[in-house]
Structure 1
Amino acid sequence: MCELVGVSKSGYYNWLGRPEAATKVRRRKLALLVESKFKASDMTYGYRRPAAALKRKGTVVSPDTVRSIMREKGLKAAQPRRKVRTTIPADDIDTRPDLVDRDFTAEAPGLKWVGDITYIRTWVGFVYLATVLDCCYPRKSSATPWPTT
């Protein structure tokens, strides 16, 4: 192998036994510190905050070095999500009648039904939740919350 590359055997073994460069050792230690700061932030910090935290602790490091280490380690900060408009109110919303007159009680089951829709943000997008409720429950307080008949 040495002949193929054009290196003497003694030169190869000299290189093999050489101690690791101080810069490489320092960078490896910095990488551990940067990674711990990043994970402590629930993976939300970019490169500036870990650099500032290390500086406060007395470790001199350039923000560009922190950015480079984060890139090498594949550490990506959570980006703010853009606001998504999921509903658009109707133009005549104020003129529509309130058919239940904000009274969500009914004397018997099946007389008054109300519904609503909302959305829940998930990692893969939005999930919409539609609910429909039967408004039947006793108006007067009683021991049981629902009619037994």
Structure 2
Amino acid sequence: MSVARFIASQRTEHGVPHAVACRAMDVSESWFYKWHDRPPTPRQQRREELTEAIRVIFEFSGNTYGSPRIGDELRDNGWQVSDNTIAAIMAENNWAARKVKHRRGCTRPGIRPVAPDLVRRQFTAVARDVLWCGDVTEIPTEEGKLYLASVEERFSGRLLGYATSAHHDAELTCAALRMAVATRGGDIDGVIFHSDCAEVFVKPRKPECVCAP
């Protein structure tokens, strides 16, 4: 039956007449039309329905799911099918899962001394201007990468400062921190500032960023 299906697909997909395809495959036209005109068997019909179900899940995943993940989805929906069968159908239809590119993190180990962890992963503040947190986000643009640093006051959730730069470095975080200090009028004694790039316990009016884990 795979030969007959191939002959039928050539006309549908490439416009090749059945007669030409039959001669190329060395089969008679009468044999082909005998197969073509009869209804599909239950097994063939199930195969076609399974193929369509695989196609839907594969395309919905953005062409990223392989046979194991598609198999999990199908079995959750009541199908009884093995991953090997799914893989065979995907190979017949040239459905190959593409690898997802994971965005690389911005944080890199530094060579400066590591600052003590004053926050200890406890990011809930008990009062205003006790704890600030910062983050750096990579933004792809048509002209290259742009980095956005931000400073958030953890008690109120207010954005106090931000800065952008084409370079991901400590100066970018410090620029956002300086804006946050200005937002508070320059009086930030006692604030702990934590980010992936720096951690500061503010005693002087002008904090100096140091590396943190």
Larger-gyration structure (1/2): 1
Q: Please give the TM-score of this superposition, normalised by the length of structure 2.
A: 0.37
